[in-house]
Amino acid sequence: MTATDRIDADVCIVGAGAGGAVAAAELAEGGAKVVVLEQGPHHDADRFSAQPIEMMSALYRDGGQGVTLGTPPILLPLGRGIGGTTLVNSGTCFRTPPAVLERWQREYGLRELTVQALDPCFQRVERALSVAEVTPELAGANAAVARRGAEALGWSHGYLRRNARGCVGSGVCAFGCPTSAKQHTGITYVPRAQAAGAKILTGAEVHRVLVRGGRARGVQASLDGSVRLDVHAPEVIVAAGTIHTPLLLERSGLAGASGQLGQNLALHPATGAFARMEEIVDMARGVPQSFYIDEFSAQGIMFEGVAGPPSYVAMSLPLTGARHAEAMADYRRLAQFGLMVSDSSRGSVRAFGGRPLIRYDLVEADLARFRTGLARMRELFEAAGAREVYLPLPHGVAPERARPRDLKLMAFHPLGTARADVRPTHGVVDGQLRLHGVEGVHVADGSVVPSSLGVNPQITIMALATRLSYHLLERSCPS
Amino acid sequence: MSSALDRFIAAGPWPERTGMRLLVALARRPRGARLLRALAPVDQLAGGLLAMEHYEDPAVARGLGWDADAVAARGRALRREEGRP
């Protein structure tokens, strides 16, 4: 370190993703002096090449290659930089399902988190992100295949609501939207925060949250590895994401009393199946995640669209050798759909050599969901007229006989490692997302979400961050 | 190894990147590839990495109806036209 900088602020926010960016804008616009420390860079859309390999290296933490330890290992890609994972997600927007909120009230004592109480926060987020339903034309032929299958089987389905404006269906939401149509927090909330006077610093490594006398004092960080930065602030919002927030709190010596920090990790494990159709699908033309089938959502099984360019398919296709090459030669006729499980399995995250070590094993109930889901996925594609269906299982293994190690899983929605619970013995933060036992330290990211949602979590996180911001401003969220 | 795949593997966390480099090196050699065939999940991962590299080649992808340069150029033009970030 060659120098030390000091910044004084009302609120210091760690992370500029779904939670941090929203809190930054709402608080700055509410008159607070805000500093945001983001570990990653600002990504310039001019450099978005629509090339999956190149973009994964640039936009994802660890090149999108983070993996859980356990059976089976699960690939856990996370975004890094301004916008966080909202920069590279599919843009799907579901409000927190009412049944999930009821569960939170019942099991975690979060009685204030009702549908009615959150409604103005959701409205505010949806307006800021231009959330709207995808049109069938923009959804493309990949969605049309799934819709045809769902209609033939009489399964409940619909077009997804997304945070996009002026989308032309570039087909690469997960690899940096080249038109900036996806309204991620880096181009919505972050500019609003800056316009309201917030200071946004990238390349900021936050070492610890400073607490004295049971009260937040700020954070200690470094900028680009060379300048030591002390931010003095009476309010700190940790929004480093479900995997990194518990690590920061742990190295700050905070939140350890309940024994829940880093525990209760839910992931929404997911997989995808392919089908070879008669018609040209050109799956990367259109919105990759534009359509859903929720017929089995009560069982914890959700189907959502997924698609991408040839190099992405080449990596995901569950075939090898000549069969892989043959299927790829017919790429234009390939369709894909995803299966996501609202998991009962729970994992944990802890620091190992300064990096997160994520442990997660699939329990029997989730294995059963995957078995059922994969069998249904085959039905779906067959009902849509598929010539061949490629399930993500080893050759010759039927869905009903799949073992955990047979599954090829990914996950995009880590949740719960600093869960909210009104009881200090059971949770890390209270219903206002304030760290139990400490004044002025709050958490606003997926880590506070106390259970699986069964749906994509981005606007749940944003609505909770909105609610936290208005609580700190001592105002009610305008509807 | 292409520079894109090289950068992709280099972006991965240690020790995965060491393992991936080894895997790709093996998969590129006939004897190594034969060895990997006996280990189905590893073979699929190695094959997937090489395939990903192959199909990211613009000429190969264009043959399958995907033109990344055109998609990126259209995006840039629309952003400029509509004044988006």
| Cα–Cα nearest to A87, from A65, A114, A59 | A59
**CB contact, 8 Å: B53 with chain A?**
yes
Q: Which helix (H) or strand (E) holds A232?
A: strand A227-232
Q: What is the model's pLDDT at position B1?
A: 46
CB contact under 8 A, B82 and A172: no
- The amino acid that residue A398 corresponds to is A
Rounded to whole angstroms, the Cα distance separating A278 from A145 reads 11
Distance from CA of A9 to the nearest CA of B (A): 28
User: Considering only CB atoms, which chain A residues are within 8 Å of B11?
Assistant: 56-57, 60, 62-65
Task: Residue B36: list chain A partners with CB under 8 A.
Answer: none
Instruction: Find the catalytic residue in A413, A426, A436, A442.
Output: A413
Q: What's the whole-number mean pLDDT along residues A460-471?
A: 98
Report the distance separating Cα A394 and Cα A372, nearest Å.
17
Q: Check if B76 contacts A (Cβ < 8 Å).
A: yes
Contacts of A191 in chain B (CB under 8 A): 85
Q: Name the residue in chain A with its Cα closest to that of B54.
A: A311
This complex has an ipTM of 0.94
The chain B residue lying nearest A51, using CA atoms, is: B68
Sequence-distant (6+) residues with CB within 8 A of A428 are A246, A249, A255, A258, A260, A261, A417, A418, A419, A420, A421, A435, A436, A443, A447, A448
In this prediction, residues A167-190 reach a mean pLDDT of: 98
pLDDT above 80 for A145: yes
Chain A: give the shortest CA distance to residue B38, in Å: 12
In chain B, residues with a C-beta closer than 8 Å to the C-beta of A309 are 55, 61, 66, 68
The secondary structure of residue A406, as a DSSP letter, is G
| Residue A436 is among the residues annotated as catalytic for this protein | no
Contact flag A180-B52 (C-beta cutoff 8 Å): no
Is the previous residue joined to B15 through a cis bond, with omega within 30 degrees of 0?
yes
- Locus of tokens 């034969």: B34
Distance from CA of A86 to the nearest CA of B (A): 15
Give the pLDDT confidence of A58-89 residue by residue, as tens digits: 999 999 999 999 999 999 999 999 999 999 99
Q: All domains of chain A, ordered by start, with CATH?
A: 1-43+81-89+94-128+184-262+416-479 (3.50.50.60), 62-76+133-169+265-414 (3.30.560.10)
pLDDT 10s digits, A466-477: 999 999 999 999
Residue B66 has pLDDT above 80, yes or no: yes
Whether A67 sits inside 8 A of B16 (CB atoms) is: yes
pLDDT digits (tens, 9 = 90+) for A252-262: 999 989 999 99
B1 interfaces chain A, CB cutoff of 8 Å: no
Chain A residue at shortest CA distance from B13 = A62
The C-alpha of A409 sits at a distance from chain B's nearest C-alpha, in angstroms, of 12
- Identify the pLDDT of residue A2: 57
Is the pLDDT at A226 greater than 90, yes or no? no
Size of interface A-B (CB pairs under 8 A): 140
* pTM for the full predicted model: 0.97
Q: What is the pLDDT of residues A292-345, one digit of tens each?
A: 999 999 999 999 999 999 999 999 999 988 999 999 999 999 999 999 999 999
Q: Are A240 and A417 in contact (CB under 8 A)?
A: no
The pLDDT tens digits of the residues spanning A343-363 come to 999 999 999 998 999 999 999
The answer to whether A85 and A78 have CB atoms below 8 angstroms apart is yes
Of A176, A82, A240, A78, nearest to B11 (Cα)?
A78
Question: What is the arithmetic mean of pLDDT over A285-291?
Answer: 98
Closest CA in chain B for residue A50: B68
